[in-house]
Amino acid sequence: MKYKHLLFDADNTLFDFTQGERETFKELGKIYNFEVTPSLMADYHKINKACWKAYEEGTLSQDKLRVLRFENFINYFNFDMDSLQMERDFTSILSRQAHVIEDTHKVLSAFMAQGYQIQMITNGLVESQYGRLKSTDIEKYFSNIFISGEMGCQKPDVEYFSIVLDKIKAKKEECLVIGDRLESDILGAMNSNIDCVWLNLKGDELSKEYKPTFIINKLVSLFDVLAMTF
């Protein structure tokens, strides 16, 4: 067994964040009386992406990110709402979402039975991640859960991965990072010299600066990857 530790990202790797976010915004629309349209969601995604990019680059704290994305959202649409309360409602509703990527339970349970140590590595918010771990019933598969908000650093920082490896007492060559985001999961693994799997669910084009060790387009294909490296 080449790899002993499987380091899984959370959102859109195991949790179906896209579906969970969609359901959360439906509830927010009812609470705050606005229509959730594809156009509105597209504009929110641009605002949210910019905030997360700044956070991952270390220029924005997670506490500021939480409120700023809704401040910018409210200002963009000229809504008369409380951004802090909207953020609280968003996080509370999202934490109850129980949507997972196809084959999540199948994959995690199989790897656990095979003796792999399964770790979660996520930049998500503490409340929403722990809430969905319970809602989806996947918490039982993990030896450790590493949430950036509890660590003082985030992916793709090398420090984040150093803390993870120190905590699980593992060598780099014993670990495999699995994630959907090139900018955080794959870049962080590359900078830390850890092998990685890019889960490319949407069939996106791979930019030249990113060099994942493996590429898969569905979670269940991890079986093939690990069979090759057993």
Confidence category of residue 105, pLDDT binned at 50, 70, 90: very high
Q: For residues 140 and 55, state if they share a domain.
A: no
Q: How far apart are CA 157 and CA 46, in angstroms?
A: 23
Dihedral sign for Cα atoms in the order 161, 126, 118, 200: negative
Q: 23 and 11 in one domain? A: no
Q: Are residues 85 and 122 in the same domain?
A: no
> What pLDDT score does 81 carry?
94
Euclidean distance between CA atoms 14 and 119, whole angstroms: 12
Tokens matching residue 57 = 């680059």
Considering only CA atoms, give the Rg of the chain.
Answer: 18
Strand-strand pairing, 5-8 and 175-179: parallel
Token digits of residue 152:
């003082």
Banded pLDDT at 230 (limits 50, 70, 90):
confident
Are residues 178 and 123 part of one domain? yes
CATH at 39: 1.10.150.240
Boundary-marking domain end, from 94, 129, 160: 94
Using one digit for the tens of pLDDT, what is the confidence trace for 29-88? 999 999 999 999 999 999 999 999 999 999 999 999 999 999 999 999 999 999 999 999
Last residue of a domain, one of 94, 125, 155: 94
Q: Are residues 140 and 211 in the same domain?
A: yes
Q: Do residues 69 and 137 share a domain?
A: no
> What's the pLDDT score for residue 69?
97
> Residue 148: which CATH number?
3.40.50.1000
CA angle 99, 101, 107 (to 5 degrees): 120
- For the chain, give the percent of residues with pLDDT over 90: 97
State whether 171 and 221 are in the same domain: yes
pTM of the model: 0.95
Residue 96 has pLDDT above 90, yes or no: yes
What are the two backbone dihedrals, phi and then psi, of residue 96, each rounded to the nearest 5 degrees? -95, -5
User: What is the Cβ-side half-sphere exposure of residue 13, based on CA atoms within 13 angstroms?
Assistant: 29
Same-domain pairing of 50 and 156: no
- 84, 72 Cβ separation under 8 angstroms: no
Domain of 64 in residue numbering reads as 17-94
Q: Which DSSP state fits 5?
A: E
> Does 86 share its domain with 110?
no
Please tell me the total count of domains within the chain.
2
| Whether pLDDT at 1 is above 90 | no
* Claim to verify: residue 54 and residue 163 sit in the same structural domain: no
pLDDT at 124 over 90: no
β-bridge partners, 6: 118, 176
**Is 81 in the same domain as 113?**
no
pLDDT of residue 98: 94
Residues of the chain with pLDDT > 70, as a percent, come to: 100
Q: Do residues 77 and 110 share a domain?
A: no
As a whole number of angstroms, the distance between CA 69 and CA 49 comes to 9
